[in-house]
Structure formats: C-alpha cells, structure tokens
Amino acid sequence: DQQVKQNSPSLSVQEGRISILNCDYTNSMFDYFLWYKKYPAEGPTFLISISSIKDKNEDGRFTVFLNKSAKHLSLHIVPSQPGDSAVYFCAAKGGTYKYIFGTGTRLKVLA
Amino acid sequence: EAGVAQSPRYKIIEKRQSVAFWCNPISGHATLYWYQQILGQGPKLLIQFQNNGVVDDSQLPKDRFSAERLKGVDSTLKIQPAKLEDSAVYLCASSLRAKLPTSGGEGEQFFGPGTRLTVL
C-alpha cells in the first residue's frame, strides 16, 4: 500500500516558468512533510519541509503548500531554472519516527 | 562541514554471497538512518539509530540483514546471504536529532551518495 504517492513520474517546464510538483498521502497520522531533490549518482538533498500546523512554507524560490483536508501537498518552484532539473521526492512521517517516501517526479527545466 | 560518507560506491556480488556497507555520518549527528532505494521507487527506511540504540527496524529483513552502530558514530549494514531482489542503492543519512523540541518536526536528514548494489 503506497501511503505517499507522486502520480506524475515526469514533468517538463520552460525556464522562468512555474514548476508544480504534487504529492498525495493517505495516512491522516502524518504530521510532517518534506521535499528532497536528487541528482544522478548523489543522495537526496533536503529542500523544504512543512509541519501539519501550517498550510504554507516558503524558502526563496521554493514554496510548499499543504491541504490537510485533501491530504495533498505541492511544491512550487518559481522561477524554474535549468539547475532545478532533478528527481524530486516528497516524504511524510507521523506517529512513529518512520519516514515514507513517494516514488519521485523527474523535473526537466528546458532552457 | 564534511558530508555523510559511504563506501563502497558500487558493489557487484553473486546471490548467496555476503556484503557489507559502511557509513560515517556528519560529526555530532545523533540519528543515523539506512534506506534501500530500488530502481523506480522512493527510499524505504530499513533501520534508524538514535546514538547507538535502534529506534525503528520494523522494515529490516532480519533473516538476512543486520546493522550496527558501535560507539554511536559509524555504522555498517550487512546482507547475508544476498538475493537478487536486494539489488538497489543503499543510502545512509544522518540528522542532528530525531525530533525537534518545539515544532514537532524532524531534524533535517543529510544523505550520503549511496552504495549501488548489484546482485547477479
């Protein structure tokens, strides 16, 4: 049972435009959510997180939105840059200390 | 600040052989995680240590996988004997602490580059 889902395996966006990556979860016990970026042959790098007590968190070009009623979060990247091309994973946890990761979305930013 | 170190970076073995991976976390990080990432999937937590104690190993296949974190610093993950389905990237991560005292969130995890295991 996939508790954290990233239904879009890939996404292409023009440089300068907005990239929106989506993530859905099923477990209402999740109370903390993270986004990671991964380049080939490297480990994931933490990008941004959000606690369930918030519905938005912003860090520079990256904003994460959380809709608890819909069990949905999204990562917005504005403006998108070619260096943002990578695989993005969302992750969630709650209750116990276990992190659950989604399957990832490959973002390609076209110059 | 040095990152999380892992070795080897690549390993090819035959099924039923044994293999061990090593991880050196960021200095001062109390929490250490081992993840398995199968191609096309997200990382799956295998085991989490807080200092040298196990916090969560519910997804560790204990009949063949073992891990230890002696002295609360370096960690090794061992597979014995390996199966074809163990082919994956094994990621080690560390964080300063498991849980922040006020926000209810977690300390940021820093990942190493991973070890790509191929079982033939």
Q: Which pLDDT score is estimated for B102? A: 44
pLDDT band at B103 (very low <50, low <70, confident <90, very high): very low
Which among A1, A38, A90, A85 is positioned nearest to B89, based on CA atoms? Answer: A38
Cα of A77 to nearest chain B Cα, Å: 20
Interchain CB contact of B48 with A (< 8 Å):
yes
Interchain CB contact of B107 with A (< 8 Å):
no
Q: Which pLDDT score is estimated for B104? A: 44
Q: Which pLDDT score is estimated for A2? A: 78
* pLDDT for residue B100 is more than 90: no
- Class of residue B25 by CB neighbours under 10 A (exposed 0-12, middle 13-18, buried 19+): buried
**Amino acid at residue number A49:** S
Q: Which pLDDT score is estimated for A96? A: 65
Residues 28-47 of B with CB under 8 A from A: 33, 40-45
What is the number of residues in chain B? 120
pLDDT band at B2 (very low <50, low <70, confident <90, very high): confident
Interchain CB contact of B18 with A (< 8 Å):
no
Extract the tokens encoding A88.
């993005």
Which is more confident, B20 or B50? B20
Cα–Cα distance, A32 to A51 (Å, whole number): 5
pLDDT band at B96 (very low <50, low <70, confident <90, very high): confident
Q: Cβ–Cβ of A99/B33 closer than 8 Å? A: yes
**CB neighbourhood size of A66 (10 A):** 19
User: Residues of A with CB below 8 A from B106's CB?
Assistant: 32, 34, 49, 93, 97, 99
Residue B69's alpha-carbon distances to A50, B50, B53, B91, B95, in angstroms, are 30, 9, 8, 15, 14
Q: Which pLDDT score is estimated for B99? A: 56
Interchain CB contact of B53 with A (< 8 Å):
no
User: Residues of A with CB below 8 A from B99's CB?
Assistant: 97
Query: For chain A, which residues score pLDDT lower than 70?
Result: 1, 96-97
Q: Cβ–Cβ of A49/B108 closer than 8 Å? A: yes
Instruction: Give tens-digit pLDDT for A24-54.
Output: 999 888 999 999 999 998 999 999 999 999 9
β-strand pairing of B110-111 with B88-95: antiparallel
Mean pLDDT score of chain B: 90
Which among B53, B23, B77, B91 is positioned nearest to A97, based on CA atoms? Answer: B53
Q: Do the beta carbons of residue A23 and residue A34 sit within 8 Å?
A: no
Mean pLDDT score of chain A: 93
Q: Do the beta carbons of residue A13 and residue A110 sit within 8 Å?
A: yes
Across B49-54, average pLDDT: 90
**CB neighbourhood size of A53 (10 A):** 12
Instruction: Give tens-digit pLDDT for B9-32.
Output: 999 999 999 999 999 999 989 999
Q: Do the beta carbons of residue A100 and residue B58 sit within 8 Å?
A: no
